[in-house]
Structure 1
Amino acid sequence: MTGFETKYRHRRQQARQTWFPSDAPEMARLQEETGMVLRFAIGDPPAELEQDILQEEEASGPFLRIPGKVRDTYKTLTFKTVAFWEVVAQHFSVQYVIKVDDDSYVRLDRLAIAIGQWQAIGAEYIGCFKVRDNSENRLRLRTHRWYDPHHELFEGDASFYAEGPFYVLPGPTIDGIVRSGLTVRMGGPNEDIMTGWLMKAFNVSHYDDRRLCYKRFCDPALIAFQWDHSASVHTTARSTSVGGDAALSVSPAGASGTDQRRDKVLPSQAGFKGHLGQPGSFAAGGLAGVPRMDDGAAAPGPGPEPSGRQRPAGDRGGGSARGKARGKQQAPPAKPRPRLVRLSDEMMAFFTNRGISPAVVERNGIQQEKRWSHKRERYVDMIAFPYYRNGELVNVKYRSLDKEFSQVPKAEKVLFGLDDCAGASEIIIVEGEMDKLALEEAGFRHVVSVPDGAPPSVREGALPPPEEETKFAYLWNCRAVLDQAARIILATDGDAPGQALAEELARRLGRDRCWRVRWPTADEADEQQSQAGTARKDANEVIMKDGREELHRLVAAAEPYPIRGLFKISDFFEDIWASYAEQDSQEQGVSTGWKGLDPFYRVVPGELSIVTGVPNSGKSEWIDALLCNLAEQCGWSFAMCSMEKKARDHARQLLEKHVRKPFFAAQYAGNFQRMEPEAVQAGLSWLDQRFHLIRYEDDELPSVDFVLDIARAAVLRYGIRGLVIDPYNELDHQRPPQMTETEYVSQMLTKIKRFAQHYDVHVWFVAHPRQLRDWKGDPPNLYDISGSAHFINKADNGIVIHRNRDPARGSLSQVQVLVRKVRNKAAGTIGECLLEYRRATGRYEDAGQS
């Protein structure tokens, strides 16, 4: 609310020149297009100012008058607030009442997005609930302007009232307070304390949204920003993707009277026309409201759940019952509630000694907090690196000066600096927060740091261990930003873990758009420089020892991974030497788990294996057994598109192979004892981590493009190493009329091979043979596959699975694995082996193994 004395008039003028509707027609248009109603709210002014009020209303639009002889003074602010609520309840039906100080700049386009998010999650009392010290002198001193005798109400509970300059109240609660006839007797200037007390008394849940904080040391200017009206001001706030802008630039009109209305961004101008449904009520520059929406009204994607009192478990909204029953409900990530303060001189010196300026530190919102130190077994001050996504704080990473690290337990993992990269076509990924800050000093703003550093160095000839696969969940959580980047520069550390991290990031993000920074090594320097120690490990070390210009030069000289479609032999020198030194055994593949088969066939990432055999020969069973071996021995995970099996039955068969016991006490189990419930539980947990099912739930058949799209997502989200497509004839094979089946199969297999090579994923593709005439029980060959000879021509490996059906030829449990094609001679050769199929468990064993 604003007073009407002359000293406040310039505030209203500057608001109208920048963000507030400038006249009555603009107010009406905003209300019609967005459902927002904005008003300056005033109490009873002196009689001598009535004519000035009328003139200003005629020129700039109506005020919202608060009757009742409530004067605009600090001493009456709480009473004036309740009187305003009575006016709102009498004349409007609103979902939200939003209070904004008249010395604030508000981004209405960003506010429109936030309102939709609040509606989607059912947020009620919304504001910046940062922790404050209620024992501070300004609240206790009777002579102070903001003295309030009721501050003790929130002793130890201070975060339950929002900061006064900008907060949001639920309209229905305001109606209830007014209808209750409650008389507020608190008095005093601090209507924010009074409001928080009432919300607590009415059991209204609070939602801590730091986008509403205007102070620099909190989370500035994402939606609202406080300016100094005494002179022209230019402020660049934190970057954010809320509303689609990278930064907020505010230039209010100052003493010069320059017209700044060109900077005004209204919701309708930013693509939010009709976003909030039918017109309702909204007042700003004083208080504001947002209209209620029908249950079916659309809103943007849900944000975080409000804190405080929880909503009923069945009142979350969204999703069908079938969808909810399909998978287990996972607990939402923890929301950080830090108690941050500005960096001390000692903490700031930590950054300046490492080449990071205070301006860069403050722009990234870095502060400090007292945290428990496991090293020292006491609370110590730690640096707090805030992790934001779309302006929302989702995690905080802490670092002590002696390099003890921690994060908010169970918080969502995202990249540090993510909002700096919203909409960026080029993104730089580094290994630590200090490297991100160093690159910003060197002139690079679109930089992010991984939250957990690098995984351990990969052992010689080994693939990444399975426990490291979970460390890349942040890529999936940040995919909306990463997917927009056409060029990703990997500037991870130059040591072995850093290079392992770069390789895994390139594999998951796609090598075709990745570039890499090479840090100086002693081998690359001349002898004199080498003796001086010019080897550098990371960006922060470069800026500390060599300066900003050298760091900028090294990043600008990043090399591609490599140039797509055009290569020099030197681009592969590292891979060739690594292969020669047997440091990379992927070319030779990994063991199948069967000693008799390994000399002929080993599994190589990036290859395509075609598997065929007559019906009921056990092709799918053998592949499932192979995958279980790889999961148990190598920690691999897989995506499986098996259209002929129900998910329940497929999981049961995999479970039997892993537990090595039958699922049922049925005839097929023989003398084997059925698996115990504890084994089922443990086995299901193991399966859930390693096998991911691709299901097409519509009536139509899935296309190969659909399968590969989902598999790409599985690489990013789960780091899968293998893909099964079983079988070919269960895919949708619509093709243009002029295209032959041979041409179609060739193009399809080319897509699959490119996927395998691009993402280092081994693909098993099951294809049935055509109907064999006069078949006498012999195994088919690869050219018998129905559809095209390209199944054998394009494959890296061709395998025939054949089960003996004639007791005269041997055991009926005997299975032949005939390797009929091997392109990579380092991984195998043409040959065959015998396996014994154990029907009770579904496992295969080397023939002759007891």
Structure 2
Amino acid sequence: MGLTDGLGQYTTGGEAPPPKIAPASALLQLDDLTWQRMEHAYHHGLPKGETCHIDALDPHFKWMPGYLNVWTGWMNEGKTEWVYQMLLLRAVLAGKKSAIYSPENMPEEHIYNQLIHSLTGQNPDRDWRNCLALHRYKLARDFVREFFVVVHPGRGQGRTPADLLRYFEAAVAKCGVSHCLLDPWNKADHAALGSMGGYEPYLVHTLGMLTDWSIDTGQSLTITAHPRQLPDMKHGQARPIPDSSHIAGGQTWENMAHIVATYYRPWKHLGSNHPLFSEVAIYVHKVKSAKLVGVRGSIGDGSENPDTRINYRWETGRYYFNGASPLDCRAAEECYLSDEELRARDDLRAGTVATQATSDYQPHTLRTASPNAFDEGQPTDELPVGWHPNGRPITLPKSAKV
């Protein structure tokens, strides 16, 4: 027979009922401790959203500790690269660390290489002429190692949203991260959806858990979520600007999240040869607190602020705003240039050097047979531990059936 819960009801499995919690414990009176926090905010100002380091976007989106941010956008258009670059700006310009759960971009070296490509503006892939010199690659590695950690549970480890929060908490404790990314939503385990009565009650419960966790930990938690495929969408035709109503669960996303925003490619349907193919527009549909964070709005071609033109250049792995990248700055250069190269760049900026080193920012074309700057260093025949030509080796237990 099961144990009773004290109200004449039996618990399942004979387990002891959870301890009772006094209803009065939910009452938060204005006590002395609360007043101390209020008085401190009075003298020093309420906590405000922190800059995203993109001047045109700052009025609409800021990083607010304790907020759940949701980014949507059509698949394969670049929203992951967009969020990576926003996190990279936080690392370079604010010293903030990030944990990234992004299983679609695994193995982890692909994620780290993508961050290094954006940081340096040069490709770590030696098959391209603008490949990163080895000494710069190592300096960029040191920076990315300090400010980013990839979260990827192994076989047998859970991937529910609650599990991912536990991994993020480990990253907070071990690495001191301030930003956590779940990319994308459909790569978490949502098997509990059926037992909770459908998508809407599941979202109310799960997004509520995520927002509570963000508030409790002071983390900026970001989720990317794909819109649903619309029945009349066809290849080669323009797609509508997606918002929270296009994500499965619809309005619940906007009700539960603190910020909902869209990454949109208005001209992608015209093909890669069209001059506007790489244009991007950003739409911020919901901001929880206009006074502390920002107001709804949009920037980019076709938006409310079309004078700000955004485009992505795959040769540098960077986003540009009216032709300038926020990563074209000395703070970023300090992360991957040697002291000698930094002095040369400083001289260049001061106008004392007329030309730039020929190894910098070469056209993004396949490398030739001639030696390039990245050919420094001696190759080694020793392969990394665990290396396998077909990816990571998987060792199954003897009892496992394949």
Q: Sort the TM-score into its range (normalised by shorter chain).
A: 0.5 to 0.7
Could you report, residue by residue, the CA deviation over 1:776-830 in whole angstroms, capped at 9, with x for unpaired residues? 3222121111234311110100010011315599622211111010011121111
Do structure 1's residue 744 and structure 2's residue 206 form an aligned pair? no
Partner of 1:623: 83
- For 1:437-456, what aligned pairs fall within 5 Å after superposition? none
Cα offsets for 1:77-110 (capped at 9, x unmatched)? xxxxxxxxxxxxxxxxxxxxxxxxxxxxxxxxxx
Equivalent residue number for residue 242 of structure 2? 780
* Structure 2 counterpart of 1:591, from 48, 51, 74: 51
Where does 1:18-37 land on structure 2 (aligned, <5 Å)? none
What's 2:226 paired with? 768
CA distance in 1, matches of 2:57, 2:69: 15
Of residues 101, 119, 134 in structure 2, which corresponds to 1:677?
A: 134
**Aligned residue for 1:729?**
186
Mapping of residues 706-725 of structure 1, within 5 Å? 706-725=163-182
Corresponding residue pairs, total = 282
User: What is the aligned partner in structure 1 of residue 288 from structure 2?
Assistant: 823
User: d(CA) in 2 for partners of 1:717 and 1:849?
Assistant: 35
How do 1:586-665 and structure 2 match up within 5 A? 587-646=47-106, 647-665=108-126
Question: Equivalent of 1:568, from 24, 30, 41?
Answer: 30
Pick closer, same or farther for the CA change 1:708–1:700 going to 2, 3 Å: closer
Alignment correspondent of 1:841: 316
Distance 1:603 1:565, change over 3 A: farther
Residues 133-169 of structure 1: CA deviation (Å, up to 9, x unaligned): xxxxxxxxxxxxxxxxxxxxxxxxxxxxxxxxxxxxx
CA-to-aligned-CA distance 1:160-179 (integer Å, 9 cap, x gap): xxxxxxxxxxxxxxxxxxxx
Q: Which amino acid aligns with 2:296?
A: I
Check 1:584–1:713 CA distance in 2 against 1; reply closer, same or farther (3 A cut).
farther
What amino acid sits opposite 1:766 in the alignment?
T
Q: Which residue of 1 aligns with 2:251?
A: 789
Contact 2:160 2:189 in 1 (8 A): yes
SS in 2 for 1:832: strand
Separation in structure 2 between the aligned mates of residue 640 and residue 565 of structure 1, nearest angstrom: 36
For 1:836 and 1:578, the matched residues in 2 are separated by: 42
- CA change 1:836–1:652 in 2 (3 A) is same
Q: Which has the larger radius of gyration?
A: 1
Q: Tell me the secondary structure at the aligned position of residue 104 of structure 2.
A: coil
Change (3 A) 1:738 1:765: closer
The partner residue of 1:693 within 144, 150, 153 is 150
The answer (yes or no) to whether the contact 1:617–1:802 under 8 Å persists in 2 is yes
Aligned ranges 1:261-660 → 2 under 5 Å: 566-568=28-30, 571-581=33-43, 583-584=44-45, 587-646=47-106, 647-660=108-121
Deviation of 1:564 after TM superposition, in Å, equals 6.7
Contact (CA 8 Å) 1:595, 1:846: kept in 2 or not?
no
Q: CA deviation at 1:833?
A: 1.4
Cα separation, 1, equivalents of 2:26 and 2:134: 52
Q: 1:839 to 1:566 in 2, by over 3 A?
A: same
- Confirm or deny that 1:703 pairs with 2:178: no
For 1:41-80, what aligned pairs fall within 5 Å after superposition?
none
Give secondary structure in 2 for the equivalent of 1:592: coil
TM-score (norm 2): 0.65
Question: 1:631 deviation in Å?
Answer: 0.6
2:244–2:250 CA contact under 8 A, matched in 1: no
**Corresponding residue of 2:15:** none
Q: Deviations over 1:480-526 (max 9, x none)?
A: xxxxxxxxxxxxxxxxxxxxxxxxxxxxxxxxxxxxxxxxxxxxxxx
CA shift for structure 1 position 844: 1.4
Offset of residue 665 of structure 1: 4.7
- Secondary structure at 2:105 match in 1: coil
Name the SS of the counterpart of 2:262 in structure 1: strand
Percentage identity across paired residues of the two chains: 23
Greater RCO, 1 or 2 (C-alpha within 8 Å, sep 6+)? 2
Letter matched to residue 730 of structure 1: K
Which whole-Å deviations, capped at 9, do the CAs of 1:339-361 have from their partners, x for residues lacking one? xxxxxxxxxxxxxxxxxxxxxxx
SS of aligned partner of 1:644: helix
d(CA) in 2 for partners of 1:743, 1:701: 21
Code of the residue aligned with 1:793 in structure 2: it is: N
Equivalent-residue separation in structure 2 for 1:724 and 1:566 (angstroms): 31
1:754 aligns with 2:202: no
- SS in structure 2 of the partner of residue 737 of structure 1: helix
Mapped contact 1:701–1:731 kept (Cα < 8 A): no
Matched residues in 2 for 1:576 and 1:597: separation? Answer: 30
Instruction: After superposition, give the CA deviation of every residue in 1:544-568 in whole Å (9 maximum; x if it has no partner).
Output: xxxxxxxxxxxxxxxxxxx875231
- Partners in 2 of 1:745 and 1:767 — Cα distance? 13
Aligned to 1:552: none
What amino acid does structure 1 have at the position aligned with 2:289?
N
Q: CA 1:811/1:577 → structure 2, altered by over 3 Å: closer, same or farther?
A: farther
The 1:580/1:732 distance shift into structure 2, 3 A limit, reads: same
Q: Secondary structure at the match of 2:245?
A: helix
Distance 1:840 1:572, change over 3 A: farther
Query: Hey, what's the Cα distance between the residues in 1 that align with 2:250 and 2:244?
Result: 10
AA in 1 matched with 2:317 = G
SS at match of 1:639: strand
How far, CA to CA, are the matches of 2:289 and 2:73 in structure 1?
A: 22
**Alpha-carbon distance in 2 for matches of 1:847, 1:580:** 39
